[in-house]
Structures are given as structure tokens and as C-alpha cells.
Chain A
Amino acid sequence: MIGKERILEILQGVLASSEADQTEAVFIGSQRSLTRFANNSVHQNVAERDTDVIFKVALGKRIGVASTNSLNKGELTDALREAVRIARHQVENPHFSSLPSPGEYKKVETFFEGTADFTPEERAEGVRRIFKRVEDKGLKVAGAFSTGSGEIAVLNNLGLAAYQPVSAATLRMVVSSDDSSGYADYLCRDIKELSVDDLAEVAIRKCLDSRGPRNLKPGRYDVILEPPAIGELLEWMSMIGFGARSYQEETSFLSGRLGEKIMSEKMTIYDDGNDPLGIAMPFDFEGVPKQRVYFLNKGVAQDVVYDSETANREGKVSTGHALPPSSRSGPMPLNVFVEQGNEDEEEMMASMERGILVTRFHYVNGLLNTREALFTGMTRDGTFFVEDGKVKYPIGNLRFTESMLRAFSNVEMVSKGRKAINAWWEEVGAAVVPTILIKDFNFSGKTE
């Protein structure tokens, strides 16, 4: 860790030399380690220390962006000069008005020393315990155990100076037998929350329960989607529909539908960067405080997230969802929550007459028709046929092709319990999602 004072001192020094009308510096520092294993053996074990400093400058309304991963003063100055050079060649951006002014940030605990200082030996010990449990059952395991920390700072010459240290730990694994597999994962800021043994047992149980899969004919079935499956759907919905850019360009499934009921009233989906139940991060990459934004409120389409530029286009204010200036994606929610329901998972299972329990999806793609949120993907690592409220037998993997607007209009039950699921960038966000029971979900094919 470099520390707040040192980072601000370095960047303020460079900002002071800027020839631009307005200048912003985004600092992203990371120290990450990851132990990767397969076939009950460690095959990759890596560590990295990196920094990224991105300068965004404005000459009037002409914008330039340049970055370097060096903290050397000369190279930082060169990058800033390159941003100014680019801005000089730019045409005016009519949607730029100003860099953000200083804001008030909520205090959220995002850094835990135990996670940041976790050692390769400690990860090895965790992995050894997983191997032991798996080998005792005659099974194999593959997965990754990552721990790390980072520092994010945003400064501009309007006086904005935001800094947040972060840490995150993730463990995910697939336990396999000759004809089955089972998945489990856990993401947290404080590694003390992580129980390696409990997680291994979940994956082992899924794997053993999945042995001897039978073929099930594709078609429409009721489904129980567990959090990893919901999390992947939400990640795609965020990419194609919850940001202002896709909304403004009419490609979002929310475009032209705000105020309309487009999902079940059981579905409330929002983004909240300040809720420590998720992977909280109180400001965005422009240094704007994160606001809670409801995309769906009891099934009614309500809003999308904005950065400064997309907000200016509509005469609004940023909701605090800018990505780094070098990104081309526009604003994006990184802390999506699905509001919890009233049932527990056992009640869901008991209520299902005939359907499918899905642990996890694989290779979901949400680009088939973004205005209908038409997605496809495969099931994996624990797919079961359910009848009369009980798991009857495991089944081979199925392909779904379904509109998420239709699927989430057919929600029957939402679980009380929710779980943080890895999203795009584990240090600054995650989806927090429940288990959901959906009627009449379309499985369009199966694998061999």
C-alpha cells in the first residue's frame, strides 16, 4: 500500500503543472495474489503489484485522455502532456460542461488488513484442506483462491480528492467426479468471513448429488436459479441495459419503457455502492458519490445510472457510476442488488411440482436482442430435475434461450437469503442476489 497522503501528494504535484483548463487524475493501485489449482494440485501461483494513473484533461470542451502505469514523476508528467496534446487535436465535446466538484462520501469499511496481508503459505494451507476433503471422497477439484488489496484515488483541480483503500478475497471451485461436477464460490472484503471447509463441502455435495445424470428433453420448465446463475444474468443486464449510454442509444431493454411495468412486482433491482452487504465503493471513477438507483421497482422500470457526460446529455446530474476515463462502456452499475423476498430455499423447493434446479450458468450471452433482453447460455456444475418438491435426479446440461423481461415477469418466489457474486471487478463491486423461482423458463437445447 502506498497510502493516501503519498498518492495525493504525488498526483497533486503533477496536476499543479497541468496546462489544461481542467485536469483529473485517476489512480488505481493493486497488489493481488492468486493460487490456482486443478486435479488436486497447484498449477499457477502468482502475484502482481501494479499502478495505473489516467489523466483526463479539458481544454475548453476538448477532452484528452492518457495513462501510464509508472509513478515516476517524469513519466507522469509525460502522460499528462500527452493528454493535453490529444485534447489540442480534439474537436469540442458539446456534452462536456465541467469535471465534478468535490462531494461528500459515505464512510464504508472496504479494507481489511487480514485480507491484504494474506500470504502464499496461508493460501496453500487453505488449498491443502480443500484437497484433503475432496480426496477423501475420491474426487478432484479445480479452482482459484485470490486475495489482494488496492487503492483508488480520484483528484481534480476543482478541489476534488477522493481516496479509498479496498481489499477482497475470492475462492471458487468445481469439484468433479467421472460423470458430475459441483460448484461453490465466496467473495468477501474480510477474509475472516471465508470458511474454506464449508465451501468445499458445498461443492462436494453438489458433485456427489450430480452423479449419474439423466437426459431431460428441452422445453419450458419452472426453474429455481441459485445466486451464481442470477448473478451472471444480472451482469449481462447491467452491461446491455442499466447504463445511460445504452438507454440513450435505444439499445437498452429499458429504453422507452420507464414508468412501465415490465417485470413481476416481486422484482426490485437497484444499485447501491454504499451498502456493505455487497462490495461497497462510495464513489465512482470521476470521484462522484454513488447514489442508490432503482432500475426496477416492484417490476416497474424506473431509471438507469449516469456519469457526468451522459447526465449532461439529458440535463441530469451524475448518479456516481462513471468507469475509468479510458473505458468505452459508458456508465455502469457495479453494485447491483436484487431485493430479497420472503421465502427460504427449502420453501421454494417444496412448492415446485415439476421443474429444474440450476446451480450456475456458463457462457451466457445477452446480445441476441438487447431490447428484449433475449439471452442464451448453458447450465453447468449441478443441474437437477425436481418433482413434487424434491430433487429427483441430476440431469445433463441444457441450453436456455429466453427473454429476461419474460422470465422476470414470471417470478413466483424470491428468497430471503442473498449472496455476493463476483462481477466485472471484484475489488470495486459485486452483485448481491437471491435465489429465484421462475415459471415456464425456456430451455431450447441440450448438450451431449
Chain B
Amino acid sequence: MKDLMKDSIKELKRKGVDYADLRKVESRSQRIRVKNGEVEGISSSQDSGFGIRVLKDGAWGFSSSAVISEEEVERVASEALRIASASASVNKDKSKLSEEEPWVDLYQSSYSEDPFQIPLEEKIELLMKAVEAMKGDKIRVAEGSLAFDREWKLFLNTEGTEIEQVITQSGGGIVATAFDGQQVQKRSYPNSSGGDFATKGYEFVRGLKLVENAERIREEAIALLSAPECPEGETDIIIGGSQLALQVHESCGHPTELDRVLGTEISYAGGSFLGSDKLNKLQYGSNLVNITADATLEGGLGTFGYDDEGVKAQRTYLVRRGLFVGYLTSRETAPLLGQRSNGAMRADGWNRIPLIRMTNINLEPGDWNLEDLIADTREGIYLETNKSWSIDDLRLNFQFGTEIGWEIRKGKRVRMVKNPIYTGITPQFWNSLDAVCNRESWHIWGIPNCGKGEPSQIMRVAHGTSPARFRKVKVGVKR
């Protein structure tokens, strides 16, 4: 089959395309969900297919199919060409790609324990134990889930690149939902939206210590029911790592996607305030803000060997000492800035074209110990675990809600508060950062559900963060 696909790429080259690539993807996944002592669902899926992307006369065409056969490869290649011609019939400008070396390589992500070899009973037992530990008075729902994925990918292009990649990912989490007859409060561990995820094996799930944290989550969910509302006003906030991961995601990751900056997402997910006139000029944040895009980070959910244009994984700066210095780019967009791609083109499966996506976008660690940072804060709120998220179509005005907060007074956490919300304008907010915690509390948070594009694509990305402090932020803006 590989030879057939190589022949197809050769044939497209013979037909005079500017460029063509083919991706064949096979994926396997397993999902396990336990709720209130019952196994709510166990599912397993297999998916495979291939897609051919063609650039001809400076215009793009893409076609894909789940049927892998000689006839279907021919049909899909022809359809991609036909679609590219239709695009060319409309376009005045021609797309060009940055240069790239032809790679021939095999990349396999590493793991200690193959998650697909761990018996189902063991996974169910882990979740059952964690859920049992969360049960209790006022706990309406105690639930846990695990997810395992493996993707085999073959990438060929007309420039001689031939890459195979095998990537294995694991993750999970637990949630306790408390109800007192009037209100509902949730606590999630280690993160909301399904927990935490990594490009690792079952050893990552063992390391989550779901059972060991279940009781604490239960107690916090119950305590939130009687906790006071988060006060309204302007105050200092310390944002915990997992919430800060989403803050980085929405207010730095997305606005630095160069395709979004160029307007290609405007009709759907919006644009970006980080226009090219701001590159190397805008003080995006305080000089403690260093944000990197690093697809080489060990175990990150956005870690790979090569992106879906065959560009080798890289580490680059997006923000350095607060200055906005870089975008996430592709082979098509990078030349517009006189650059080569930094390898951020990723596709959600064989039936989607690659788009510029986040990899592992990280707020680099600072010097503070978390307890020292709290002790250094006269008045403020410590916020943890995302509950809601919203940001405007240029990625400026944001509002986040978190599951829990603690008021800080005179350097001490004095009481828990519920329903915290904070809001701000992206560059003002990042310029108010005055402390970042050190590598001891730095963690790579896996986000498995980043949406973008039409037809919609879901991408797995990650953010390395440690808690950080922001001065004079508007909080509690509920009504």
C-alpha cells in the first residue's frame, strides 16, 4: 500500500503540481467512564483513511477517503486536482511554500507501559476506587474517566519526504459534583474537561494519583456549597497552573497563529489583535513573561517528531521578556514574513487538512516558590481549575470562571470562595504579571479538545505553566 501511495505522489508530480502530499492515518482509541459506582461506558474505536493535498497553479485542493484501495487512491488524487483547479479559477494570488528539507524518518513517542496492554479490569478498578472515595453526603455525581489514543501516520510529499510517526497518548481525571437542593458545585482533579493528558503511556495515569486525591476533591466540592461568593472588585490574583494553561491557550496561543492573524479564521473563530505591525514591537507582557512554542518537549500532548507538512518539531519563542517576537507558522504563511515554517501545521485525522495549531505553548518558569508568593501577597485571590471560558473575536477581552478560589489576606489563604470570575484585556493583563513560580510547580497540562477550522477540527495541545501573580485584576464580575 505504501508503494501505491508513493506512486500516486509521483504521478501528481508528473502532472505538474506545484506541490502535493499524502497522509495515511490509522488511529485507535479507548474510553472508559465510571459514574456513581457504575461503568457508564466503555468504548473502543478504530479509524483509518488517507488524504491528498495538492497545490496546483498556486491554489489548493484536498480530497480524502476512508477506503484504501488502488482505485480510491486514484479517484482521490484526481478529485484533489479538480478541486485545486476550481480554487485556481477564482484566485488572483498564488500560494507559495517555504523551503523544507526532504526528511526520511521514523518517529515514535516513548512510554513505559503500553496503555492498550493494561487489562480493562485494572482500569475499571482504578476508576471505581476513585469514584467510591468521592461518594458522600451531598455528592450528587462522582465520576471518573480514562482515555487512551494511538496514531500511526505516514506522510509523503513530492519533495521526497517520507515520514512515519507513531504517537501514544494517555490521560484521565475525576469530578465530584455536590448539590444541596439549591446549588451545584463541582471540583475536578487534576483538571476540568476530562483531566490531564500526555504523550505517555499508562505510567502517566498511575502518576495522576486519582484515588489519593478523590477525598480532597469531595471535601472541596461540599465546602464550596457553603463558601461565600467571590467578592467583586479589583484585586491581585494568583492563578494556579491548570487555569493559567487555559489563559495561555486563549490569550497567547490562539492569537499567535499566523493563519488567524492573516484572516483565514475570521468567519468562524475570529481573528487576532497580534497583527504583523506588532511583531517585535508590542510589549505583550511584563518582562517576566517568556512564552515558548515547543513541540519537542518530553511528554507534552503537543509533542511530535514532524508536523503535518513534514517540518521537524521545533522550539521557538512567541514572547521573550514580554516582547511579542514570534508566530506559530506554516510553509505557506512563514514566507510572508520572510521566514521558514516553525512546524505548527497539524491535522485532526486523515480527512482534514493541516491548519496552524498550537503545539506545547508554555509560560516559562520564574523564580518564586508558591508558598512564598502567597506570603508576599497582601490581599488577593488564589484561583484554581477552569470552569468557564470566553474571549472576543480578536482575543482581547476575556472572562474566565474557575471552580474554586481562596481569599488571601496578609500573606495567608484565609477562606475559600465560590463562583470566582476574572476578566481583562489581554496585553494589559499580561503586563500586570509580576511573579511566576519556579520549575518545582511547573507542569505540562494536556488540553485534548482545542477546536478550530471548518470543517471543525479538534486538536491535542499542551501548556507548561506554573502559578503566577497578576496585579489589580477585575474579579467577581458576575452581573
Contacts and interface: CB of A to CB of B under 8 A. Distances in A.
B394 A38 contact: no
Given A69-B46, A70-B48, A174-B267, A363 B391 contact: yes
Contacts of B120: 86, 89
Interface string A36-80: 111111111111111100000000000111111111000100110
B38 interface: yes
Contact of B270 (A48, A250, A362): A362
Given A39-B263, A371-B184, A65 B41 contact: yes
A27 interface: no
Nearest to A366: B388
B264 A43 contact: yes
Contacts of A164: none
Given A38-B263, A124-B89, A328-B41, A48 B59 contact: no
B82 interface: yes
A390 interface: no
Contacts of A144: 267-268, 454
B453 to A, nearest CB: 8
B18 interface: no
A120 B82 contact: yes
B396 interface: yes
B200 interface: no
Interface stretch (A275-283, A292-300, A335-343, A373-381): A373-381
B154 to A, nearest CB: 17
A250 B63 CA distance: 45
A68 B45 contact: yes
Contact of A47 (B63, B392, B421): B63
Contact of A368 (B64, B67, B478): B478
A445 to B, nearest CB: 6
Interface string A156-169: 00000000000000
A365 B479 CA distance: 15
Nearest to B418: A369
Interface string B179-208: 100111000000000000000000000000
A90 interface: yes
Nearest to A42: B87
B455 interface: yes
A91 B263 contact: no
Contacts of A83: 44
Contacts of B107: none
Nearest to A330: B40
Interface in A102-120: 119-120
A69 B392 contact: no
A250 B388 contact: no
A399 B66 contact: no
A216 interface: no
B425 interface: yes
Contact of A447 (B40, B47, B394, B477): B394
B227 interface: no
> Contact residue range for chain B?
35 or more
A48 B388 contact: no
Contacts of B124: 89, 91
B423 interface: yes
Interface in B446-479: 454-455, 477-479
Given A67-B46, A364-B390, A365-B389, A50 B66 contact: yes
Contacts of B51: 48
A82 B43 CA distance: 9
A45 B60 contact: yes
A356 B252 CA distance: 31
B266 A176 contact: yes
A447 B83 contact: no
A172 interface: yes
Nearest to B72: A49
Given A362-B270, A374-B478, A445-B477, A142 B64 contact: no
A445 B387 contact: no
B133 interface: no
Contacts of A82: 44
A328 B48 contact: no
Nearest to A220: B479
B90 interface: yes
A33 B61 CA distance: 11
A365 B388 contact: yes
Contacts of A444: 399, 423, 477-479
Contacts of B39: 90-91, 93
B392 A376 contact: no
A401 B479 CA distance: 6
Given A67-B43, A172-B267, A445 B397 contact: yes
B66 A41 contact: no
B82 A448 contact: no
Contacts of A32: 455
B14 interface: no
A371 B185 CA distance: 10
Interface in A349-402: 362-371, 374, 376-378, 380-381, 397, 399, 401-402
A183 B266 CA distance: 11
Contacts of B90: 37, 41-42, 124, 127-128, 131
B275 interface: no
Q: Which of A75, A140, A326, A378 has the most chain B CB atoms closer than 10 A to its own CB?
A: A378
B109 interface: no
B477 A251 contact: no
Contact of B390 (A47, A123, A363): A363
Contacts of B140: 249-250
Contacts of A123: 86
A315 interface: no
B177 A69 contact: no
A38 B47 contact: no
A367 B177 contact: no
Interface string B46-90: 111101000000011111111100000000000110111011011
A26 interface: no
A86 B86 contact: no
A94 interface: yes
Given A86-B120, A376-B388, A69 B63 contact: no
B87 A124 contact: yes
B31 interface: yes
A437 to B, nearest CB: 21
Contacts of B285: none
22 contacts: A40-B92, A42-B60, A45-B59, A46-B64, A48-B64, A51-B66, A67-B45, A93-B38, A123-B86, A128-B89, A142-B266, A144-B268, A249-B141, A250-B140, A328-B31, A363-B393, A376-B390, A378-B390, A399-B390, A442-B479, A447-B396, A447-B425
Q: What 9 pairs between A and B have smallest CB-CB spacing?
A: A447-B397, A120-B86, A65-B43, A48-B351, A142-B266, A124-B86, A367-B388, A46-B62, A378-B392
